Structure 1
Amino acid sequence: MPGRVDHPRRGRYFSVPAKYAVSIAIGIAWTAISVFLSLRWLDALSAVVGSFLALIIITFIAYVPGFMNAFLVSTILLDRRPRRRAPATYPSVSILVACYNEQAAIADTIRSLARQDYPGPMEILILDDGSVDETVARALETIGGLSLPGHSSIRVVAGFPNLGKSAALNRGLELCRHEIVLTIDGDSWVYADAVTHIVERYLADPPETRAVAGCVLARNSRKNWVTQMQEWDYFHGIAAVKRMQSMYHGTLVAQGAFSLYDKAALQAVGGWPECVGEDIVVSWALLERGYRIGYCEDAVAFTNVPDTLRQFARQRQRWSRGLLEAFKAHPRLLLKARMSTLFVWWNVFFLPLDLVYTFAFLPGLLLALLGMFYIAGPMTLLVLPLAILWNLVIFSVQRQMFKRQDLVVRRNVKGFLLYVFVYTMILQPVCVWGYASELFGLRKRWGTK
């Protein structure tokens, strides 16, 4: 790829496959210890529900999550990604902003893009998907008051019916002029150096890279308890998983809210498919062709997250359906001989994990309140040390990234406690609802991102 930067190795080089092997070994070791410590728990639960069901329950309450968390923590601790470096010439980029009924946020999104410090030409396309509010008028009014550098442009593409986000993005893909394409949601605030950083990461990553996911964080986290706990999910959970996956050359999702793509690669896979998880499915299409998806942890965009439980449930239901859509469209990824195949199988396990949590662990908590500790009890407390270590490691890594960006981690103790103790009680039953909706072919809704 033109403009890519080669980074010299400094000091002792610990290869990515070696780090992968170490992390696998640590995950297996932690799981082995968990199995040994849980034998009495397994015997007690077997006496109540039978040996097979007891093994399934404990496997997906303790063993599988324990392996995943141990692998993630060790990977983050071993991660020493090469620094970004400024190329001699920054390539031209096209930025696609798909929006539907975003009259309250589109002006801020446009202003944040106009304030980017990107040294190269930017073409910004505001792609209205048949909004019935004042989105187009607000966008035109905002653009009229802007002063863009001479090598950049911005325009609104409107007058089309509401056909869904993928249709709007594909329309933009046909109209855009440049070979590097960025997607940004219409209710986001893009940090001033975000476009520069994500392009530098793309140019510095291995040559088979065809997409880079940006770091998306919650913008409206102060609104209520629903957004407060999501702030930690974006800051800790989602960011950590993407960082882990990118280290092994396989970030699974370049999310539509803020990501970079190679235009030719997008066109080769047919653009964004018409489905509820268009960003997941197009990402897996790229991975199936052998391409790599990277992650730029310091290319930051703040987006509005759902602020009611109903909106949150609809969003996560859509994400769960999108995951099943990706498996149906690209099942061959399960057999790819590459390190990131582990994460595809990781997603396979989400279904039984969510099912066991919803139909076994949550009822087990209620039983524990009545003094019956068959499922949730003293043995389940063994996962706390790893959970504490996981959160400490991720918080330290993310705080350092914020510091380099001149950002400060907001004090949000209430949100953190909700994230640790309540979040999964809401999230995983919602995911089960999403899986069921997809498996039974229920009507799909695109209304919540």
Structure 2
Amino acid sequence: MDYKEKIPTENEGLSYIQTKRTHYIPVKIKFVLSHLFAILWTVISVILSIPWVKDLSEIVTLPLALFIITGIAYIPGYMNAFLVVSLIFDRQPSFKNENPSKDITILIAARNEAENIGNTLVYIAKQDYSGHIKVFVIDNGSSDETSSVALSYGENLNLDVTVINEKKPGKFNALNTALKYVTTDLVITLDADTLLHPSAVRFLIARIESAPKDVCAVAGSVLVRNSRENIMTKIQEWDYFLGIASIKRLQGLYQGTLVAQGAFSVYKTDCVRVIGGWPDAIGEDIVLTWNLLKHNWRTYFEPLAVAFTNVPNTLRIFARQRSRWARGMIEALKTTKPWQQPSTYTKYLTGINLLIPYLDLAYTFFWLPGLILAYFGFFWIVGPATLLVLPLTFISYSVLYTYQKYVFRKLNLKVRKNVAGFLLFMLCYQMIMSPVSVWGYTQEVFRLKRVWK
């Protein structure tokens, strides 16, 4: 995310002081209360939508009318209501030790990244982490100077960098090859074009070191680095800042962050080895995380561990990326069924993903045509009742924005204004996302060729 950054001086530091809480609400109670509110909201929505159901059923039959309205209004409303209350309840626990010093390893899978790898290593060298950082750059069949650039920067930065060559294509192959050489208890994966905030590693390690012993991974907070490039990146700025972050906070609250993303996350090395490393999947980080959860381990999210990545700057590249993510979710569902998860929370969180394809299909094939009909005065599908979802969406993003501003103050970062991107994100983003996701599901169903970039 394109932010104005003020690097803190040595005397300023970065404290993470929690406000005192007079009352502690157990996670179980938060889970129940959030559901009660979501159910209440859904019941009200159903009552208010009865005239809408009757009108639409006269056109498409009652079963189809319920199928459509459930997909574009009832379930999205329920999910947004659950998200809102959960975010209100969410409070990050304090660190036991804000300055850990454990030796760690960072894995960077790189293919033709000569242009980016040097800058990525520069930001690793700037970390205020007191432990030793060992960096493995895995050259995954590059045809450029990725290896020599990485070695040169490592030497100039006095950074412990080793290049491993893995000719067999696939990020999972690169990471699994490097895993054999890891000797530290904790291993971080980082994308070759992702830049770390100076305290990113420190906060990420502090979170996993402060967490219960059964926490096997912590996802960092990945934000947009190139948001000023064009309107496509401006829109994605808000998706990462609000949309993705809100989902990760929700999942982290219920101790099951569903994607410890490969772009920037930390894992317990032994846990990754127990499950056989990264799987042969287009969404290798999604499947890996679900496999970890299936072993009755937990995964957390740390909003203070911030990294900045370049996002797609064209619709074509964006469509490839997000269809790949959608396909990765289907791979995870096929590999690890929600009912196989040992925790009630992860059963629920992964189970929600069973509904996502239905919601994307409903949005693509009913809501979008209904929007066109509404433009011509036919409010059969899209009408006043569908607007019930908007207030909850706005409230959830408002709550998350408050949290994010707090995080940014702690990190001495400033959010740049991006009004146009925000409006387009709120009003139009789903119009792009759902059809792209449907295409990803289709690719997986018909086992089409995998395309990473």
TM-score, normalization: structure 1? 0.94
Match of residue 31, structure 1, among 42, 49, 52 = 42
Residue 284 (1) aligns with residue 295 (2): no
Residue in 1 aligned with 2:163?
A: 156
CA deviation profile, 1:321-348 (whole Å, cap 9, x unmatched): 1111111111154564412221111111
Distance in 2 (CA, whole Å) between partners of 1:17 and 1:96 is 36
Match of residue 119, structure 2, among 101, 108, 117 = 108
Residue 50 (1) aligns with residue 70 (2): no
Match of residue 59, structure 1, among 64, 70, 74 = 70
The alignment covers a number of residue pairs equal to 435
CA deviation profile, 1:71-91 (whole Å, cap 9, x unmatched): 111111111221123268621
Residue 198 (1) aligns with residue 209 (2): no
Q: What percent of counterpart residues are identical?
A: 45
Residue 396 (1) aligns with residue 396 (2): no
Residues 328 and 81 of structure 1: CA distance in aligned 2, closer, same or farther (over 3 Å): same
Distance in 2 (CA, whole Å) between partners of 1:103 and 1:229 is 28
Contact 1:131 1:162 in 2 (8 A): no
Match of residue 91, structure 1, among 99, 102, 108 = 102
Q: Secondary structure at the match of 1:424?
A: helix
Residue 325 (1) aligns with residue 336 (2): no
Distance in 2 (CA, whole Å) between partners of 1:254 and 1:335 is 16
Residue 341 (1) aligns with residue 353 (2): no
Contact 1:130 1:161 in 2 (8 A): yes
TM-score, normalization: structure 2? 0.93
What amino acid does structure 1 have at the position aligned with 2:241? Answer: F
Large movers: runs of 4+ above 3 Å: 332-337
What amino acid does structure 2 have at the position aligned with 1:18? Answer: I
Distance in 2 (CA, whole Å) between partners of 1:89 and 1:320 is 36
CA deviation profile, 1:355-387 (whole Å, cap 9, x unmatched): 000000000011111111000112212222212
Residue in 2 aligned with 1:3?
A: none
Residue in 2 aligned with 1:266?
A: 272
What amino acid does structure 2 have at the position aligned with 1:199? Answer: I
Residue in 2 aligned with 1:375?
A: 381
Contact 2:106 2:189 in 1 (8 A): yes
Contact 1:198 1:299 in 2 (8 A): yes
Distance in 2 (CA, whole Å) between partners of 1:241 and 1:433 is 22
Distance in 2 (CA, whole Å) between partners of 1:251 and 1:119 is 27
CA deviation profile, 1:159-213 (whole Å, cap 9, x unmatched): x314110011111111122110000000010111010001110011122100000
Residue 444 (1) aligns with residue 438 (2): no
Distance in 2 (CA, whole Å) between partners of 1:394 and 1:427 is 21
Residues 408 and 332 of structure 1: CA distance in aligned 2, closer, same or farther (over 3 Å): closer
Distance in 2 (CA, whole Å) between partners of 1:338 and 1:382 is 29
What amino acid does structure 2 have at the position aligned with 1:416? Answer: F
Cα-Cα RMSD: 1.5
Residue 429 (1) aligns with residue 401 (2): no
Q: Which runs of 5 or more residues in structure 1 are unaligned?
A: 1-6
Residue in 1 aligned with 2:138?
A: 127
Distance in 2 (CA, whole Å) between partners of 1:384 and 1:241 is 17
Contact 1:288 1:333 in 2 (8 A): no
What amino acid does structure 2 have at the position aligned with 1:156? Answer: V
What amino acid does structure 2 have at the position aligned with 1:227? Answer: T
